Amino acid sequence: MSPTDPFRVMFVCTGNICRSPMAEVVFRDLAEHQGVGPLIVSRSAGTGEWHVGERADVRTLEALERRGYDGTAHRAKQFTAASFAENDLIVALDRTHERILRQWARDEDDEGKVTLLLAFDRFAEGLDVPDPYYADTAMFDAVLAMIETATRGLFRQLEPALRQGRRTPRTPRI
């Protein structure tokens, strides 16, 4: 890995059709609009294999579209052991995902890559982004708003190091 390689972030939820695709798209869009798109790779995966190959949930796509994002290219993937090596930061959308990812970690380096998205929102009322899958449109919009706020916090944490060309921006540990 070279110092000029992009910083690779993977967002992880359960099935990779609701929360993590939202975070992937929002974070990528933020990086592009801040002029550091080539310095960051934003992707997502699920802890389960139920939806592999599927598009994001239609309610996810609609929520993204209402806020000016395009999630139509997304296809669900499952997190694998190789995902640790392929990414610099693994961002869990809730504490269940965080626990699973830490259990799957092969060593301290892998485990050290895992953090929670809401750790980057100092005003969040908890650490879990709720799963909107069994909820209504309003919940998808509320979850997207939470993700937008937290990804901005994550971006603020990473941006100075990225602009200075450092490979390992500091991320908080909870």
SS3 77: coil
pLDDT reading at 1 higher than 50: no
Alpha-carbon gap, residue 147 to 106, rounded angstroms: 28
Alpha-carbon gap, residue 127 to 75, rounded angstroms: 26
pLDDT reading at 170 higher than 60: no
Q: Based on the residue annotation, tell me whether 131 is a catalytic residue of this protein.
A: yes
| Cα dihedral sign, 169-152-35-76 | positive
Pick one of 3.40.50.2000, 3.40.50.740, 3.40.50.2300, 3.40.50.1820 as the CATH number of 7-163: 3.40.50.2300
Catalytic residue among 8, 67, 95, 131: 131
pLDDT given at position 166: 57
Catalytic residue among 18, 19, 59, 88: 19
pLDDT given at position 60: 98
Q: Based on the residue annotation, tell me whether 13 is a catalytic residue of this protein.
A: yes
pLDDT in tens, 91-123: 999 999 999 999 999 999 999 999 999 999 999
Q: Report domain extents, the chain.
A: 7-163
